[in-house]
Amino acid sequence: MASFRKLPSGNYRAEVARQGRRLSKVFPTKTAAKEWAAREEYMILQEAEAPVDHGDFGDLLKRYAEEVSIKKRGERWETIRIAALCKDDLAKVRLAVLKASDFAEWRERRLKQVAPGSVIREMQLMSSALNVARKEWGTISSNPLSDVRKPPKPQPRDRLVTANEEVRLLHAAGQDLTLATARAYHAFRFALETGMRAGEIVGLTWDRVDIDRKVARLTHTKNGRARDVPLSSEAVRLIEALPKMAPVFGLDGTQLDALWRKIRDRAKAEGLTFHDSRHTAITRLSKKLDVLALARMVGHSDLRMLQVYYNETAEELAKRLD
């Protein structure tokens, strides 16, 4: 509010107090004092309403990678995706003017480059970064991505590895387990027996394997919960065939990914991913274990997830009916 005082000299002192700021000035007339006070109040309010510049969207993503992604098990994927996103024009948009339409335009561009599933995962990553910025950093007041439609979810994969592909993959990888390529396919075969994820397999250490009890202890899993994985006789045989290395398979995630792609392409197993071993394993294990035991073994706390991975065909089910 502005206040005005007539001074003994006959002049008028105008005083403005707004948004924690105090201004004062003397004028020869009250009209001049009021005009000045009105202008100053308007300028103070405009400055208060003007958005603070917290940089562009790329700056937000980089901060998220440095402060949040680095603490996650999926750090590598997130940092790679963030680095790629920072090369897009979307990353150059200032946070002060970032809006839903910017993300909608990005979505349409991105759908021309990758599958809808990849776009959905990247939108989820960006939304997580925006939510942290809103809730913890205070750099944005709302998440504009929450108003943007995600592409329709693709149908769950139903790709199972065939017996013929297993033979071709073994031939492509070789059987000399002192070589990383052979161990990469050995890891795939182990996944077929256990339903373990690639990250769980490469992280397996000898002190977590109890051959006598036929159990592998996983301390770092996707859902963050440790679990014990029962090992079949074949799974035990696969582990015992390995040379003593640290970790058990002597591979990290990057090596396994690169070597698997090399083996798959050499074997001409078109479209087969390492994760398809999990689909195949769960489908095979469903013939041996009940639903609860199967969910416990593969680490699914939500039984509905088993429906995503269970891919037995109607023909195979028909054979089981007789």
Which residue is associated with the tokens 């709302």? 142
Q: Provide DSSP, 157-208.
A: P-----HHHHHHHHHHH-S-TTSHHHHHHHHHHHHHHH---HHHHHT--GGG
Cα–Cα distances in Å, from 251 out to 169, 220, 231, 258, 310? Answer: 18, 16, 20, 11, 28
**64-122: pLDDT as tens digits:** 999 999 988 778 889 999 999 999 999 999 998 999 999 999 999 999 999 898 999 99
pLDDT at res. 43: 83
Kindly name the residue from 183, 197, 264, 278 that is annotated as catalytic. 197
| pLDDT digits 0-9 by tens, 20-39 | 788 899 999 999 999 988 98
State the catalytic residue, choosing from 183, 186, 189, 300. Answer: 300
Tell me how far CA of residue 186 lies from CA of 38, 56, 176, 180, 229, in angstroms: 79, 46, 10, 10, 18
User: How close are the terminal C-alpha atoms of the chain, in Å?
Assistant: 88
Euclidean distance between CA atoms 313 and 27, whole angstroms = 90
Residues with Cβ within 8 Å of residue 89, at least 6 apart in sequence: none
57-147, CATH topology level: DNA polymerase; domain 1 (1.10.150)
Confidence band for 17, pLDDT divided at 50, 70 and 90: confident
Dihedral angle, C-alpha 295, 297, 300, 302, nearest 10 °: 30
DSSP 82: H
pLDDT at 303: 60
As assigned by CATH, the class of the 163-321 domain is mainly alpha
d(CA 30, CA 5): 9
Q: Given phi > 0 = left and psi -120 to 50 = alpha, else beta, which region is 262?
A: alpha
- Asked if 222 is an active-site residue, the reply is yes
Phi-psi region of 230 (alpha: psi -120 to 50; beta: other; left: phi over 0): beta
Q: What is the pLDDT of residues 38-73, one digit of tens each?
A: 988 888 887 766 556 679 999 999 999 999 999 887
pLDDT at 266: 96
Give the number of other CB atoms < 10 A from CB of residue 74.
12
Q: Please give the order of strands across the beta sheet that includes 227-230.
A: 209-210, 215-218, 227-230
Instruction: Mark whether 92 is an active-site residue.
Output: no
**Token pair 């075969």 in the structure block, residue:** 189
E strand intervals along the chain: 2-6, 12-18, 21-27, 209-210, 215-218, 227-230
Residue 110 identity (one-letter amino acid): R
- Annotated catalytic residue within 109, 222, 225, 268: 222
Task: Report the Cα 40 to chain-centroid distance in Å.
Answer: 49
Which tokens belong to 143? 């998440």
pTM of full prediction above 0.75: no
Quote the pLDDT of residue 301.
64
Most confident segment among 13-17, 98-102, 155-159: 98-102
The pLDDT score that the predictor gives to residue 288 is 87
Q: How many CA atoms lie within 13 A of 261 on its CB side?
A: 5
* Active site annotation includes 300: yes
How far does CA 17 lie from the centroid of its chain?
Answer: 48
Residue 5, SS3 per DSSP: strand
What count of other Cβ atoms lies within 10 Å of the Cβ of residue 279?
21
Q: Confidence class of residue 290 from pLDDT cuts 50, 70 and 90?
A: confident
